[in-house]
Amino acid sequence: MQDVALEDFRQEIASWLEANCPASLRHGADVEPTEEDRQAWLEAYAGRGFTTPTWPSEYGGGGLDKHQARVLQEETARVASYAPVVSFFGTSMLGPVLLEFGNEEQKQEHLPKITSGEINWCQGYSEPGAGSDLASLQTRAVLEGNHYVINGSKIWTTGANRADWMFCLVRTDTDAPKHDGISFVLFDLHQPGVTISPIQLISGASEFCQVFFEDVKAEKANLVGPLNGGWTIAKRLLQHERAMLSGGTGLGAGRRKKAKGAAPAPKGMLAEAARPYLGGGEGRLDDAAMRDRIAQWELDSLCFGLTLRRSGEQAKAGQGPGAASSMFKLYASEMNKRRAEILMSARGSAALGWSGEGFTPSELMETRGWLRSKGNSIEGGTSEVQLNVIAKRVLGLPD
Ligand SMILES: Cc1cc2nc3c(=O)[nH]c(=O)nc-3n(C[C@H](O)[C@H](O)[C@H](O)COP(=O)(O)OP(=O)(O)OC[C@H]3O[C@@H](n4cnc5c(N)ncnc54)[C@H](O)[C@@H]3O)c2cc1C
């Protein structure tokens, strides 16, 4: 896009923000935002399609090109204390594969509700007997009239207890080789036969669940892609998921709140978080060993951020996230875990709090965050599985 046109667009966005961002949600506001303010801000932002800025406007997206999307991001960051976000299961996982593999009716039906946040999605991939070896999944779907009737169970389903719909891998042919008998279907979780049981994580939170299906129905129209052709879509979605987890989708990076906790924190933040516990006032941290660990982490984080930016540019140039997303996912998981470890070491006894008084809210949160970070190298495919993908698909090594 020409510089002049982009400058006009910047002006247009600045005026739009002036008219639509509630005063309480601007930098330097001297009033506390109310829930209504937050809701109004979300509705205005999503109403323009800005929660999915580069999706086509006919599906509720912003219809922006990559330069305009960058301007939107910059202008929003300049004016507002945050950019509204909706669930990343829709924006960063299901949405991109619907745009690639969905038919026109499916795009019209589902994409606008992702952008607006009206429908919350969850991911029905893993089963008690199928995790890394996902293609062994056993949840059955049988076509009866206009519906697939589904029986079986999914596990580790993040947010199932808050979700409205699930995108789900089901077995539709039991005789075919395992990768060739899988289909990708969408269905409403608010129906008889769906039972959702939360599972508690080591961090104390219950963010994921086991989900049981007993004669649950998915409309035939909600089969995405060909019958028994779900494996290709499943793999593509995992690439988007891994890119999202590493913050490497370019447009998603930075706008996204720390979705599942894997993307590294901005430069300098670790040193500042550790500073109150390590001494040294505003100057050099006193503890030389910790200083070394922190400096190394900050440098690695900076280099990683630059690499992600380069890959984000490639993604926006239409190449999409490929198998390389496994490299970023692997590295982001390790960076986040290392960050949590360093912070725990720096905090000493202040890192031992679980609840109650004697610890600040941020100390309690970081302790739980450290425990939660253990899941980073499992979710979205384990680190060992990423190494296998890198060996095979990126380096071209033999099986
Ligand atoms: C926080 C969190 C959120 C999650 N959210 C979701 C979700 O929303 N939806 C969903 O469907 N799933 C979700 N999962 C599940 C996740 O995708 C699986 O846990 C993961 O794929 C591993 O499967 P598994 O737990 O069955 O372990 P297994 O596959 O049984 O693996 C056990 C161990 O064996 C290793 N291993 C297995 N195969 C190989 C191999 N070929 N080569 C080398 N090592 C191997 C693994 O690396 C691992 O260390 C989530 C998991 C976590 C931790």
Q: Both 365 and 253 in a single domain?
A: yes
Q: Which residues are catalytic?
A: 241
Determine the structural domain holding residue 138 and report its residue range.
121-229
Look at residue 285 and tell me if it is in a domain: yes
Among candidate residues 24, 34, 71, the one with its CA nearest the CA of residue 50: 71
The pLDDT of residue 266 is 52
The protein residue whose alpha carbon is closest to atom 29 in ligand 1 is 132
Instruction: Report pTM.
Output: 0.90
The pLDDT of residue 77 is 95
Among candidate residues 233, 231, 220, 221, the one with its CA nearest the CA of residue 101: 233
The pLDDT of residue 262 is 42
The protein residue whose alpha carbon is closest to atom 32 in ligand 1 is 132
Look at residue 310 and tell me if it is in a domain: yes
The backbone torsions φ and ψ at residue 348, rounded to the nearest 5 degrees and listed phi first, read 55, -130
Q: Give the count of domains, the chain.
A: 3
Q: Both 168 and 198 in a single domain?
A: yes
Q: Both 252 and 177 in a single domain?
A: no
The protein residue whose alpha carbon is closest to atom 26 in ligand 1 is 131
Q: Both 269 and 376 in a single domain?
A: yes
Instruction: Write down the mean pLDDT value for the chain.
Output: 90
Look at residue 128 and tell me if it is in a domain: yes
Distance (Å, whole) CA 19 – CA 37: 13
Tokens of 249: 């989708």
Tens of pLDDT along 25-63? Answer: 999 999 999 999 999 999 999 999 999 999 999 999 999
Q: Both 276 and 386 in a single domain?
A: yes
Find the CATH number of the domain harbouring 222.
2.40.110.10
Tens of pLDDT along 194-233? Answer: 999 999 888 888 889 999 999 999 999 999 999 999 999 9
Determine the distance from the C-alpha atom of residue 99 to the mean position of all C-alpha atoms in its chain, rounded to a whole number.
17
Lowest mean pLDDT among 76-80, 98-102, 232-236, 364-368: 364-368
Q: Are 32 and 22 within 8 A, CB to CB?
A: no
The protein residue whose alpha carbon is closest to atom 38 in ligand 1 is 132
Look at residue 113 and tell me if it is in a domain: no
Look at residue 91 and tell me if it is in a domain: no
Q: Both 213 and 254 in a single domain?
A: no
Who's near 63: CB < 8 A, 6+ residues apart? Answer: 49, 55, 56, 57
Segment holding 150, helix H or strand E: strand 147-158
Q: Are 20 and 37 within 8 A, CB to CB?
A: no
Q: Both 221 and 256 in a single domain?
A: no
Q: Are 157 and 86 within 8 A, CB to CB?
A: no
Q: Both 179 and 136 in a single domain?
A: yes
Q: How far is the CA of 96 from the centre of ligand 1 (A)?
A: 23
The CA radius of gyration of the chain, in Å to the nearest whole number, is: 22
| Best of 88, 121, 126, 206 for a ligand 1 pocket test (most atoms within 8 Å of beta carbon) | 126
Distance (Å, whole) CA 387 – CA 117: 34
Higher-pLDDT residue of 315, 358? 358
Find the CATH number of the domain harbouring 318.
1.20.140.10
Q: Are 241 and 167 within 8 A, CB to CB?
A: no
Q: How far is the CA of 374 from the centre of ligand 1 (A)?
A: 12
| Best of 237, 382, 385 for a ligand 1 pocket test (most atoms within 8 Å of beta carbon) | 382
Q: Is the CB of 132 under 6 A from ligand 1?
A: yes
The backbone torsions φ and ψ at residue 210, rounded to the nearest 5 degrees and listed phi first, read -100, 140
Who's near 339: CB < 8 A, 6+ residues apart? Answer: 264, 265, 270, 297, 301, 373
